[in-house]
Amino acid sequence: VLPQEYVQTMRESMLKRCPVSSYEEVRGVFKKEIGELPETVFAEFDPVPIASASLAQVHAATTHDGKKVAVKVQHDHLLDTSVIDIATVDLVVNALNYIFPTFDYRWLVDEIRESAPKELDFLCEAQNSERCLVNFRKLSPHIANSIYTPKVYWNLSTSRILTMEYIDAKEVTDVKGIKDLGIRPVDVSNLVNKAFAEMIFKHGFVHCDPHAANMMIRPLPQDSKKWFG
């Protein structure tokens, strides 16, 4: 629908290269949420984020027991601006409906009002992540060994800070990187199709944000059974 110039610009800037919060703002979120600063909560904490999206940015860190983790920190003041965002959408949608009665997207505002608080609650995200993995292990054991979600460090997570196991992997759209790992793209494609079919038709609980920054590919750990290549 959109010209390639729009698509490429948004793809390059919106997935993980959004404007970043300053380290002082990150420290402020930690102080509010955990009561301590990141440099004391962790043995090491990289002040420069490895990625930044619209809701949060991710920092690499090391726990005091030597585990490398990815720390997702919500942008400061996001709760305040989200209220304004919803009010703006409400105004625009109602104005369009008044001018063009057949163009009725007022349902969208209700959807946003319901989903926005959940999106801003990282504990909800963490619970969904664990539930997703449990679903595959219980309901789809034939591909469960090829599906993984990073371990959540609950003692280092809050509604605005999410600490998870750091995993080095390639983005699902990085065909060259996937080939360099010795993995066939067709196997990745088959696995993605099977995984989503299982979620849709068996689990009834579906990952609905499957862009490249949210789906990663790595070789199976050495002790795993190799189901795909």
pLDDT for 64 equals 97
Q: How many domains does the chain have?
A: 1
pLDDT digits (tens, 9 = 90+) for 32-56: 999 999 999 999 999 999 999 889 9
Q: Which residue in 65, 80, 168, 209 is the catalytic one?
A: 209
Classify residue 83: in a domain, yes or no: yes
Classify residue 112: in a domain, yes or no: yes
> 91: domain range?
79-117
DSSP three-state, residue 176: helix
Q: Is 209 a catalytic residue?
A: yes
pTM for the model: 0.85
pLDDT digits (tens, 9 = 90+) for 69-124: 999 999 998 877 888 888 999 999 999 999 999 989 899 899 988 888 888 999 99
Reply yes or no on whether the pLDDT at 15 is more than 70. Answer: no
Classify residue 107: in a domain, yes or no: yes
pLDDT digits (tens, 9 = 90+) for 137-155: 999 999 999 999 999 999 9
Classify residue 7: in a domain, yes or no: no
pLDDT digits (tens, 9 = 90+) for 193-206: 999 999 999 999 99
> What letters, b where the CB count within 10 A reaches 16 and e where it falls short, cover 49-73?
bebbbebbbbbbbebeeeeebbbbb
Alpha-carbon distance 174 to 217, whole Å?
Answer: 9
